[in-house]
Structures are given as C-alpha cells and as structure tokens.
Amino acid sequence: MNKIDRESAFSPEAVRKALSEMDVKPTLKRPDGELSVELSRLAQQTANRLSEENLSPTMIIGTLRLVEFALLSLIGFLVYELYVGMSWDATLLYYAPAIVIGSALAVLLIQISDGYQVPAVRSVLKTLPRVLTAWAVAFALIALGAFFLQSGLAFSRFWFVAWFLSGAFALTVERNIVAYGIRRWARNGVMERRAVIVGGGEIAKNLIRSIEQDPNNDIRICGIFDDRNERRSPAVVAGYPKLGNVDALVSFARMARIDMLIIALPLNAELRVLELLKKLWILPLDIRLAAHANKLRFRPRAYSYIGAVPMLDIFDRPITDWDSVAKRIFDVSFSLLAIALLWPVMLATAIAIKLDSKGPVLFKQKRHGFNNEVIEVFKFRSMFTDQCDPAARVLVTKGDPRVTKVGRFIRKTSIDELPQFFNVLRGDLSLVGPRPHAVVAQAQDRLFAEVVDGYFARHRVKPGVTGWAQINGWRGEIDNDEKIKQRTACDLYYIENWSLLFDLKILFLTPIRLLNTDNAY
C-alpha cells in the first residue's frame, strides 16, 4: 500500500466506513445494552481519582488572552479618567478606538510571538521580554497610525507614556501570577490532558518515554489497557500499570474524566486497530493513533503532535473547550427566553392536568445523558398516575388508554416537553441535540443498542430538547427498526456537523415541523 493509500485508510471517513462493515459484537452488556465489564480494584480506584473535571489548557490560554485584552483596555481608560477626565466629548472619540485597537494589537502580537503557549506562560523569565516587546510594537503601530491620520495632536503625551508604563507593569505582575498558578495546577494535576494508552509492549513503552521526555508535555498518562496476555503485554509498562482489557476501558471511560485515547499499535495491524475502534469510537474522547514507531511516513499535514510524538487523528471529541462555552451560553439564553414567553402556556397546562386527573403535574423519567450517564428528565404528566411507565418499556400507541384527555393534546403538540427547559438550565440537557431516550427503551422487544450498531455514539454530546432527527420527521413512536436507525443516523450527522448556526437552524425550524403530528401520540 503506498503512502496516500495508507493515509486515506486511517482518515475518519474511511474508518467509519470500515467500522460499519465489521461484525464485532460485545459479549457482556448492561440492562440498557451497552458493553459492561467489572473493573479491577486498581482500575476502580484510578477512575474514582479521575472523576473530577480538569482544566483544559486551551480554555486557560483563551481566558488569558481575554484577561490581558481587558486589563490593558481598563488601564488605558483608567489613565484617561485620571488625567483627562471621563467625559463624553470629542476627545473620547479619539482615545477609545486607540485604547481598544492598541490592546487588541498587543494580544495579537503576543500570540504571533508564541507568548500564549503553555510552556511560555509557565516560564516568565524567558517570555516576558517578548511580551513587553509586543506591547511596545503595538504602541509604535498606534503612534504610526495617529501620524498618518494626522491626529497625533489629539492625544496627550503624558497619557500615552503613562498607559505604556502602567500596562507594562501590569503585564509583568499578571504574568508572574499566572505562571505561579499554572505551575501549581500542573503539579496538582488540575491542568492537564488525561490520556489512556491502548496497547502494550515495547511500542507503548517507547511512546510513554517519548512523551515523558518532552519538558513541555501537558499529557498525564492514566493507565494502560490491552487485551493481550502478560507474556506479550506486561502488567506494568514504563512504570504504568495495565488496568484491564479494552472492554474494561469502555466502563473506565464512563467513570473517569479522560480526554484522549492513544492507540499504540503498528499501522500495519489495520484489522486489530479497526476492531479496537469498533468498541471505542462511541466514547466522547479524542482518539489518536501513535505513529512514532512506524517507518512509514505520511505527509506532514496528516499528523498532529503531542510534544515531538507524531499522531494520526482518528476521531475528535465533539463540542469541546470554547465551543462548549458558546453552546452553553446559547442554551441558557434561549431557554430563559422560552420560559419568559411560554410561562402562561406552562401554567395553563399544569392547571389542566390537575383538573383532568389525580396525581402530580410533572413526570420524571430516567434517560441517557452525556457519556451515557443517567439523568432525570422532566415532562408534564400525560398518563394516568397509576399507569405511568417510567422505564418506557411499553411504547405509547395511537389511542393508548393510559393517556389522559389532556395528555393526548399536550403529547401531539409537544407541550409535555416544555419543562425540559429547566433541565437545560440545570445542565442535564442542551437546547439542541440528540433526543434523550429512556434507559431501557425498546423497539419490537429489542433494545435500541441491539438494533443499531454504534447506538451509544449519539451520547458523545448532551441530549437536546429538540434535534435534527425531530425536524426531519423522526419524532414520536418508534415501533420498528428503521425508525430508530434513521433517528440515530440523524443524531450522528448532527454531532459531526455541529455549529451554532446549525443549532439556530434547528431551533427555528422546530415550531414549523411540530405542525406535523402524524407520529405523536
């Protein structure tokens, strides 16, 4: 196989196609159909220790950029207030753009000079000169711009010098504080990327050594998982214990907060790699294939790097870092707006339910959330209290006698789903995403996971109040295999093509598509 063919074989698209053609079935399952293996005592202890969220280096560096921009801008306006006096006159029209543009230029120049790399932020003595140089160059560009625009006389020289000196002092103090914090977080394991090695033997040993030798490494190796026996894969590799086989890794990754899986196998073991990916791609993690031990070399752009170790990117964790922040702001903003607009409808529905039948207004049901975690989802009660089905073992059908008169109306119009806006505010749901299914939901007496291969991959993101499947007509009763297959296909398409614009499109199409009530009982 030539270089291009081999590279194409491990592209995400080729991997997904190969996985769909394979027949690798797990043997041990939980009641909901997912592979489940009892973890060893050591693996259990490790997973519990890693159950807390860590700080993403990407998020910290992004926040640092915003902080430094705000800090420099604030100092500029503060000096203006103290010397000139804050007044909404013509002078502010000159000073305000200069302050904002100068602060933005400084951040941009620090970025260009690699001043926002984690190693640079950690080492103040090495990087402070380039940070201050970037600040000085930003000032020089502002002065040059004022000269060409013939507006130099509009600025106070005292303000100009005072802003520069106070900004330089503030950057020096702030960078020392941040460096101290990052070094402390690195020692405490708070700021790191947590990785698990899949595979063992010499390849895994060399990979671990290569990662550890990088002084700027932010990877924390949390353990090794391998199916091979101890003769081919020792119980301890480079000081790290083998925590179990690959089947146990799925259970481990559901409990621990892991960022990355690194597969340490030769590239020519394609079948073995694909067998592993068949089990692992459902997890919301970055999956990388280490290429350090392979003589075969791809084009440079085919690799990403962990330190100096080349990696092939097989799968990326969806909606991470700043994307997740943007999506959370989107969710909270639109949910609050929806509650503010629809509270009369929710109040009227609650009164109607109380008048129609005895029992609570709300119905709570356990469903699958992000990373297959079980969450409790709110709905308006649409069935008689003594006939409710929290496990959703029996599908609701047309004319179902368990459904109340009010229940039939609110189910057809999806009003019964409105309390889920409060699930969004709690963080259990997203506004847009794959719809959460009941934990043991079935189609024709078969669990959804038994009908659709890779069904649990839809849980790589938070479930949503509405989703791409729903506006494409796949809502309501799931009474045959084709419906759950189509719904899952839509969910996976959404995950792989997510953007805020896509969320907006789905959100605004939802009320229109809800007019089609054919499958809603």
CA dihedral 104, 107, 112, 118 (to 10 degrees): -150
CATH of span 3-54+192-317: 3.40.50.20
> What is the C-alpha end-to-end distance of the chain, expressed in Å?
54
Strands in 435-509 per DSSP E: 442-443, 446-447, 464-466
* Contact between residue 461 and residue 433 where contact means Cβ atoms under 8 Å apart: yes
Q: How far apart are CA 356 and CA 361, in angstroms?
A: 11
Domain residue spans of the chain: 3-54+192-317, 57-188, 322-513
Q: How far apart are CA 358 and CA 375, in angstroms?
A: 26
DSSP assignment of 139-166 equals HHHHHHHHHHTT-GGGS-HHHHHHHHHH
Q: How far apart are CA 512 and CA 503, in angstroms?
A: 15
Q: How far apart are CA 455 and CA 434, in angstroms?
A: 11
Spatial CA neighbour of 372 closest among 434, 320, 287: 434
Q: How far apart are CA 521 and CA 389, in angstroms?
A: 15
Mind listing the pLDDT tens digit of every residue in the chain (521 residues)? Answer: 444 454 555 555 555 555 555 544 444 455 555 666 677 888 888 888 888 777 777 888 888 999 999 999 999 888 888 876 655 555 566 778 888 999 999 999 999 988 888 878 888 888 889 999 999 999 888 888 776 766 655 667 788 888 899 999 999 999 999 988 888 877 776 777 889 998 877 888 888 888 888 776 778 888 899 887 777 777 888 888 888 888 888 888 888 888 899 988 876 677 788 888 888 888 888 898 887 655 545 555 556 777 778 888 888 888 888 888 999 999 999 999 999 999 999 999 999 998 888 888 888 888 888 988 889 999 998 888 777 766 666 667 677 788 888 888 888 888 889 999 999 999 999 999 999 888 777 766 677 777 787 788 888 999 999 999 888 887 766 767 788 888 888 999 999 899 999 999 999 998 887 766 565 54
What pairs with residue 240 in β-bridges? 237
pTM of the model: 0.78
Q: How far apart are CA 38 and CA 54, in angstroms?
A: 25
Q: How far apart are CA 231 and CA 241, in angstroms?
A: 15
* Contact between residue 263 and residue 283 where contact means Cβ atoms under 8 Å apart: no
Pairing of strands 309-315, 286-290: antiparallel
CB count in 10 Å sphere of residue 53: 8
Joined tokens for residue 205: 């040993």
